[in-house]
Amino acid sequence: MEMQKDLIVGGVELKWDLKTGQVLFEGGDVVFFWVSAMKTFFDTINEITGEEATNLVLEATGFRQGIIVGEGFKKMQEINTSNVVEWLSNTYVPAGWGYVRIDKMNIDTKNFTLIIKDDWEYKMNKLGHKDKQGIFVPAHYAGVFTGLFGRNYWYKISEYQNESNPYTVVEYFPSDVNIQQNIRELTRKQEDKHIQELESLVAEKTKMLQELVKELSSPLIPVLEGIVVVPLIGRYDENRAEDLIDNTLNNLPKHQARYVLLDLTGLNKDLSPYTAELIDKLGSAARLLGVEVILVGISAELAMVITETLTGLKKYECLQTLQHGIYYALGKSGKSIV
């Protein structure tokens, strides 16, 4: 049984050693693959990393693979702008990469326009992604030119092969654009996106917290018919004061309140002139609605503060505990707890 097969395809020598399983293409090891198998491989990358990252992976891999090929052939034989046309077609067509030829070439600037048809990536995309456009193969040839000529090449795809166009047309030119820049750009975009997502999440949670604080900072609690309690807790700034007044006045009619007990227990000694002004403003507004404001939770320390500095609050009925306030409001209503 013959254990080695030698073939000449398009002037390129191919060797199969069936004993070792080695395949040589132009003297180097190669692996022939099924297009459907590559599709599964690429789809898996896309599933794990996402569309944008997958495109960058394919572009970077194709480009860097091309550099290796270009540098390798440059060592094997002298490649220049005069013979690169013949070399490119003779190398890639026998290797199963599809039809490729240089359509235009500027010897002075070393610009090339390639026509690519039925390459393996195009066939792979047709299996399941008919609208997907190739990126690995075009980037690969940019890497090939980079390796051959020792300067960075980049590319621009002007036409894609589809039902209307028989070829993919790609322009190649010396450029400062490189894969490292594209990787850093994607990394920055992903970081910016992640930061924006975090900022959005923080804003959303902050809004929820603000709404919760707003709801908890000015509750209106009905305790008995016509009697409601509003506990005052902590320090009040302009926003909290506005929320307290709006919430209280808007809900008094709903509860048919005649008495509002402002519980100052949570203020302790923190009854500032601003808070005292807030209480007086609320009391005046409630009086216009026919509701009497009663201050409860007056400690000895708080009583001294009101007596010495916040004398404007002395016009309100002040009681030591919430229980006393409820009894007082009941008594004024002609009711009592039996």
Per cent of the chain over pLDDT 70 is 80
pLDDT tens per residue, range 307-325: 887 888 888 899 999 999 9
208: buried, middle or exposed (CB in 10 Å: 19+, 13-18, 0-12)? exposed
> Burial letters for 63-84: b for 16+ Cβ neighbours within 10 Å, e otherwise?
bebbbebbbebbeeeebebeeb
Answer yes or no: CATH 3.30.1380.20 is held by domain 34-177.
yes
Query: Average pLDDT of 281-296?
Result: 91
Is 141's pLDDT higher than 80?
Answer: yes
Q: Which of 33-42, 130-139, 167-176, 230-239 has the lowest mean pLDDT?
A: 33-42
Q: How far is C-alpha 238 from the geometric centre of its chain's CA atoms?
A: 35
**What's the pLDDT at 173?**
92
Amino acid identity at 96: G
pLDDT at position 163 over 80: yes
Please provide the DSSP assignment of 153-199 as one string: EEEEEEE--SSS-SSEEEEEEE-S--HHHHHHHHHHHHHHHHHHHHH
Angle at 5 (CA atoms; ends 4, 6), nearest 5 degrees: 125
Is residue 268's pLDDT more than 70?
Answer: no
Higher pLDDT, residue 305 or 225: 225
Taking only the tens place, the pLDDT of each residue in 237-253 is: 787 888 888 888 888 88
Mean pLDDT of the chain: 81
Q: 59 to each of 63, 92, 136, 182, 226, how far by Cα in Å?
A: 6, 18, 5, 10, 75
User: Fold for domain 218-332?
Assistant: Transcription Regulator spoIIAA (3.30.750)
Helix (H, G, I), strand (E, B) or coil at 97: coil
Q: Is the pLDDT of residue 168 over 90?
A: yes
Please, where in the chain does CATH 3.30.750.24 lie?
218-332
Torsion of CA 126, 129, 134, 136, to 10 degrees: -100
Regarding predicted confidence, which is higher, 79 or 272? 272
Asked whether residue 216 carries a pLDDT value surpassing 80, the answer given is no
Question: Does residue 167 or residue 16 have the better pLDDT?
Answer: 167
**Cβ atoms of residues 264 and 230 within 8 Å:** no
Q: Looking at the predicted structure, is the pLDDT value of residue 337 above 70?
A: no
Q: Contact, 67 vs 145, CB < 8 A?
A: no
For the cut 90, the answer to whether the pLDDT of residue 132 exceeds it is no
Query: Each residue of 151-173: b (16+ CB within 10 Å) or e?
Result: ebbbbebeebbeeeeebbbbbbb
pLDDT tops 80 at residue 213: no
- Asked whether the beta carbons of 65 and 140 are under 8 A apart, the reply is yes
Q: What is the pLDDT of residue 294?
A: 93
Host H or E run for residue 259:
strand 259-266
CA distances to 146, 172, 236 from 134, in Å: 20, 16, 63
Mean pLDDT of 41-52: 81
The pTM for the full model equals 0.52
Cβ–Cβ < 8 Å for 59, 43: no
